[in-house]
């Protein structure tokens, strides 16, 4: 059983080390002897699911988002919606997350269409409002467990959720809009978040959740071999403890 990582717009949407998310999934599969392939998907190139896939959509600048919004408005956007409806595993970060909603409005007032995987929209910051920048600690309820994610956010847009669950609750940081305490969104096996970091190397449990969700689409009894995450847990706890000490609960 081989897992295929589809890195969407790898050359355009890769801010703050988002490619580390690709590397984290790849290495954690390889350490377990799970065959894995990385496929970069650019503008004008089709998506070719294999049945055991993870789709990663990183962050980018407004210019890049505007360039690829047209590409997503056609067949590729419809294919991604179908993949999500079928239970495919998708992770969007920052700009990628914004374009998984209905629309993203730039500071210049241009409204870019999203693919509508999530019932949300993103507005530009108002005059006098600052960018939302800094480290973030989020509580996530997933699979009957309460877990935490750490990451780094840097966005001017304010995202407002409609009929969709947030990925988690902000314990420290700003999250979707700096007002309602939500961070990210999730639907079926699709996740959106503002957490760069890179997100997945900082949060190996979430990396394994994505890997296992993809593999169980082929074999629902599949289990992942445990890895020695001693160093990763220390790094996570160092950051999480620092943020809790700044006011996170």
Overall pTM > 0.75 = yes
- Mean pLDDT, to the nearest integer, of 189-198? 94
Identify the band that residue 249 occupies on the pLDDT scale cut at 50, 70 and 90: low
Q: Supply the pLDDT for residue 248.
A: 57
Find the mean pLDDT for residues 8-14. Answer: 88
Structural domains counted in the chain: 1
- pLDDT score recorded for residue 159: 98
Give the residue numbers spanning the domain of 187. Answer: 3-247
**Residue in this structure with the two tokens 């990763």, named with its chain if needed:** 232
- How many Cα atoms are found within 13 Å in the side-chain-facing hemisphere of 43? 12
Q: Which residues are annotated as a binding site?
A: 131
pLDDT of residue 12: 87
CATH code of residue 195: 3.40.50.880
User: Per-residue pLDDT tens for 161-182?
Assistant: 999 999 999 999 999 999 999 9
Active-site residue, from 94, 121, 174, 209: 94
Q: Within 31-92, where are the H helices?
A: 62-71, 77-85
pLDDT for the residue numbered 147: 97
Asked about 29 being catalytic, the answer comes back as no
Distance CA 236, CA 218 (A): 31
Q: Supply the pLDDT for residue 16.
A: 80
DSSP string, 186-240: EETTEEEES-BSSHHHH-HHHHHHHHHHHHTTT-TT--PPP---HHHHHHHHHHH
What confidence tens digit (pLDDT) does each residue in 36-83 have?
999 999 999 999 999 999 999 998 888 888 888 889 988 999 999 999
The pLDDT tens digits of the residues spanning 194-242 come to 999 789 999 999 999 999 999 999 999 999 999 999 999 999 999 999 9
Closest CA to 147 of 169, 173, 179, 172: 169
| Tens of pLDDT, residues 110-146 | 999 999 999 999 999 999 999 999 999 999 999 899 9
Catalytic residue among 155, 174, 196, 209: 196
Confidence of residue 14 (pLDDT cuts 50, 70, 90): confident
Span 16-29, pLDDT tens digits: 888 999 999 999 99
- Annotated binding-site residues for substrate read 131
Q: How confident is the model at residue 119, as a pLDDT?
A: 98
The answer to whether 196 is a known catalytic residue is: yes
The encoded tokens of residue 137 equal 């600690």
pLDDT at 247: 66
Provide the pLDDT for residue 37. Answer: 98
């Amino acid at each position: 059983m081989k897992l295929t990582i589809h890195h969407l717009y790898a050359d355009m949407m890769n801010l703050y080390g988002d490619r580390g998310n690709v590397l984290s999934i790849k290495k954690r599969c390889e350490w377990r002897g799970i065959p894995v392939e990385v496929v970069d998907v650019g503008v004008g190139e089709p998506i070719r699911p294999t049945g055991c896939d993870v789709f990663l959509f990183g962050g980018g600048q407004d210019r890049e988002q505007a360039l690829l919004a047209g590409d997503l408005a056609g067949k590729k956007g419809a294919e991604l919606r179908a993949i999500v409806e079928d239970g495919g595993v998708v992770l969007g970060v920052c700009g990628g997350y914004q374009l998984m909603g209905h629309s993203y409005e730039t500071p210049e007032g241009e409204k870019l269409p999203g693919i509508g995987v999530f019932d949300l929209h993103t507005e530009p910051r108002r005059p006098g409002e600052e960018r939302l920048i800094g480290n973030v600690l989020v509580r996530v309820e997933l699979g009957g467990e309460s877990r935490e994610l750490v990451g780094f956010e840097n966005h001017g847009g304010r995202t407002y959720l409609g009929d969709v669950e947030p990925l988690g609750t902000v314990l420290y940081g700003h999250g979707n809009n700096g007002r309602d305490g939500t961070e990210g969104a999730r639907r079926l096996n699709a996740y959106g978040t503002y957490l760069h970091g890179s997100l997945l190397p900082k949060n190996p449990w979430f990396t394994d959740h994505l890997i296992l969700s993809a593999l169980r689409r082929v074999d629902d009894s599949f289990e992942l071999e445990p890895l020695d995450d001693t160093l990763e847990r220390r790094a996570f706890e160092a950051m999480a403890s620092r943020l809790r000490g700044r006011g996170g609960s």
